[in-house]
Amino acid sequence: MAHDYDLFVIGGGSAGVRCARIAAGHGARVAIAEERFWGGTCVNVGCVPKKIMVQAAEYGMWAADAPAFGWEATAPKHDWAALARARDAEVARLSAIYKRLLAGVNATVFDARATLAGPGEVEVNGTRIRARHILIATGGTPARLPIPGAEHGLVSDDLFTLPELPKRVVVLGGGYIALEFACILKGLGAEVEVVYRAPLPLRGFDEDIRAALAEALTAQGIVLTPDATPTRITRTDAGLMLTLSSGDAREADAVFFATGRVPNTRGLGLEAAGVLTDARGAIRVDADHRTNVPGIYALGDVIDRVNLTPMATATGHALADTLFGGRPRHASYANVPTAVFTSPPIGTVGLTEAEAAEQGPAEIYVTRFTPMRHTITGRAGRKTLMKLIVCARTRRVLGAHMLGEDAPEILQGIAIAIVAGATKEDFDRTIGIHPTAAEEFVTLRTPARTVG
């Protein structure tokens, strides 16, 4: 049976656009549909606008710290509307670039919702289209907790459409989105409390990093409420009232649900095509990102594996090369570096101490210090923590973790060494750049402990 396209992509985010663009470059007939915004979550309501707001908050701290270095500075005053204009202009610019990239390779672009109509068939604007391969890359969507009054709360997307800064904010959740939002809002002038179920925030990260971040957030005036579960949100004359499982309640102007994201698969027509999902709605795929239905693939947050933009683009590129480039390959999910843009930020790659201990004996190297800048400013909560995890048998560095200023920039370079299989001795014979925080990674000589 004839096909209208070699590849039809549902979703115009990082995974979908990269796969479509590379496939078209290989000569495939490609179509792609996006119903909301080109560039997906990252460009529009995630990485990009969030990082701009992180940077905005940092300027306030720098202004407050400037007198310690001899600068005469008046108390800074932030203009929320000016930030919003600058942020939204950059988001619009990047979103337009995504669409132009597709036009540049002659892909057919649909500004519309596309759904599966059956194996090998997609429906767009009431028209059925046949494709030899179909890629589902519809990303994820923020979720609210199923509690009374949940409709009064905001989700992460809403931060980027708020007309003004709320003065009293409660953020629900202990993951990276919750903590990044808490730091942004606090840095821009709000009173912030974070409520989460675990004893420490950032479940899944290294324990030393989790504890150090909790200490840093508290030092900057963010109220942490661990071991707590929200049970109700009520609208009052003064704003909102949040009730916790302990019976405690607090008033707020805004309550943010940062309690996780779910795969965006609802109403996609998966049943019509016979595509299987797990209990959370994530599409099930094999190592080649094939679903259970021949010719249908899924990538990115919709499979709920490693939900990071660079991972989505890497797998999208690999799939296009595999299907149309005559070069079958995979993008590895091992040793994927990531960052948390809190204040201070986190960079991490490889195994945590707990994960390394499960695999066998590992040496743990740790250092903690006040960076030079803050020996002058005296700002609380700015200590740097750096940590290396080393296999005691092979001497390979299995993991690196850092909390501190410039951590994401530093860990990108460390990640290259870890992916390449560098040993502790490779680190030891590397000369440090002085004076930097980064040099500490090559001057760690004595293990703090051995585990496993």
**What SS3 state is found at 142?**
strand
- Dist CA 201 CA 235 (whole Å): 28
Please say if 152 is a catalytic residue: no
Q: Which amino acid is present at 7?
A: L
Q: CB-based burial of residue 103 (10 Å sphere; 0-12 exposed, 13-18 middle, 19+ buried)?
A: exposed
Q: Are 239 and 249 in contact (CB under 8 A)?
A: no
- At 17, which helix (H) or strand (E)? helix 14-25
**Residues 313, 101: Cα–Cα separation, whole Å:** 14
Residues contacting residue 326 through CB under 8 Å, at least 6 positions apart: none
Residues with Cβ within 8 Å of 13's Cβ and at least 6 positions away in sequence, in order, are 34, 39, 40, 41, 42, 43, 137, 138, 139, 300, 312
d(CA 431, CA 146): 54
Measuring CA to CA, which residue among 158, 241, 237, 230 is closest to residue 196?
230
Q: What is the DSSP string of 62-83?
A: HHHHGGGGT---PPP---HHHH
User: Tokens 């720098």, residue?
Assistant: 62
- How far are the Cα atoms of 8, 9, 113 from residue 295, in angstroms, in the given order? 11, 12, 20
From the list 133, 152, 317, 434, the catalytic residue is 434
Spatial CB neighbours of 413, under 8 Å, sequence gap ≥ 6: 438
Active-site residue list: 434
